[in-house]
């Protein structure tokens, strides 16, 4: 919930009314202002990060698959599978 607090603290005495909600237009302007602050990656950085993530995911898939196969084999040996 987007609330325009105007620097007020979160703790309010019980006698005060609720904080006013921001309008959709103000909310949209705040989103655009924040997106302008973002430093977007270059194409080269994006490809590099994507490659790193894909390699890591493939390694983790291999580790989990290997552990699954080992545990399956262990359970079948212990409990006598078909």
Q: pLDDT band at residue 8, thresholds of 50, 70 and 90?
A: low
Residue with tokens 């919930």: 1
Q: Which three-class secondary structure string do you get for the chain?
A: CCECCCCCCCCCCCCCCCCCECCHHHHHHHHHHHHHHCCCCCHHHHHHHHHHHHHHHHHHHHHHHHHHHHHHHHHHHHHCCC
- Give residue limits of the domains in the chain: 1-38, 41-82
Q: pLDDT band at residue 65, thresholds of 50, 70 and 90?
A: very high
Q: What is the pLDDT of residue 14?
A: 61
Q: pLDDT band at residue 2, thresholds of 50, 70 and 90?
A: low
Residue 31 confidence (pLDDT) above 60:
yes
Q: What is the pLDDT of residue 33?
A: 95
Tell me, rounded to whole angstroms, the distance of Cα 32 from its chain centroid: 20
Tell me, rounded to whole angstroms, the distance of Cα 20 from its chain centroid: 29
Q: What is the pLDDT of residue 7?
A: 58
């Amino acid at each position: 919930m987007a609330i325009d607090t105007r620097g007020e603290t979160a703790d309010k005495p019980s006698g005060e009314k609720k904080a006013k909600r921001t309008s959709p237009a103000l909310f949209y302007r705040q989103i655009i202002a924040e997106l302008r602050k973002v430093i977007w990656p270059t194409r080269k950085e994006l490809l590099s990060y994507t490659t790193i993530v894909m390699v890591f995911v493939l390694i983790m898939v291999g580790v989990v698959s290997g552990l699954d196969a080992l545990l399956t084999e262990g359970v079948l040996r212990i409990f006598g599978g078909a």
